Structure 1
């Protein structure tokens, strides 16, 4: 009988397999929690600041979100707001004739928000609440305010810039 030595088969060691599995899990988690900034930025004029309305004639930008009227000024209650789900924006009227807009994407984990009561928009994912009048956090776990969006008022039409 001959004695043959058994050669180990080359391949990944346990440490490499565990590291690869951890990296894959992290990638999946980060993808699930990531935001869709490219899509929302191109259709809502992301990068515009202020969140306030302007009364300049024809002030809408030539993008997918600009041009067509979003709402009539009479549609937005004073001291409250209205959600526009497709545009992922809430438009509010903090004071008579003053209009502001904010993203409806929660700053905690990027969940879309559609629950609006009075001047408060709520996230059903983790319970964060925000003021639609100024975008501030009313209740955590979110710590960052809502992202401001730019709107233009021309006559009685509100347009997302």
Structure 2
């Protein structure tokens, strides 16, 4: 029976979940429990097999978007099927899944789900300052710092002097 079900699990959303679910029973109801594939996540989604929505992927999509990011889910869904999506994910060596999907030629990626390293931050700020004719002092602007550090207060921002030197 599991083999029959696995043949139906072909949508790319399954690439973000362990390939073989746990089979269990809760109050007499049989379920498949899918565990999120992200190392830092311990979330799982149960799908009860005696319900009318036993093949629904709505909860898998909802969690995957919250955990991995809507842009990554969108790119994965363009991979066509679960095997193609898993192949792309397996080639993502540096943790940049969005970059891996971009290399697969599916779509232009505008940002990644991983935080920039210190030198990458400096390079991106220099690029932004020069391409958009921004003053070097913008890195000390209250609004800019608020946008950059919300949710990650330890995020490195260079000084105006460093930005001018790098330019």
- Do the two structures share a fold, i.e. TM-score over 0.5? no
Higher relative CO (Cα under 8 Å, sequence separation at least 6) belongs to 1
Q: Which has the higher strand share?
A: 1
Larger Rg: 1
TM-score w.r.t. the length of structure 2 is: 0.21
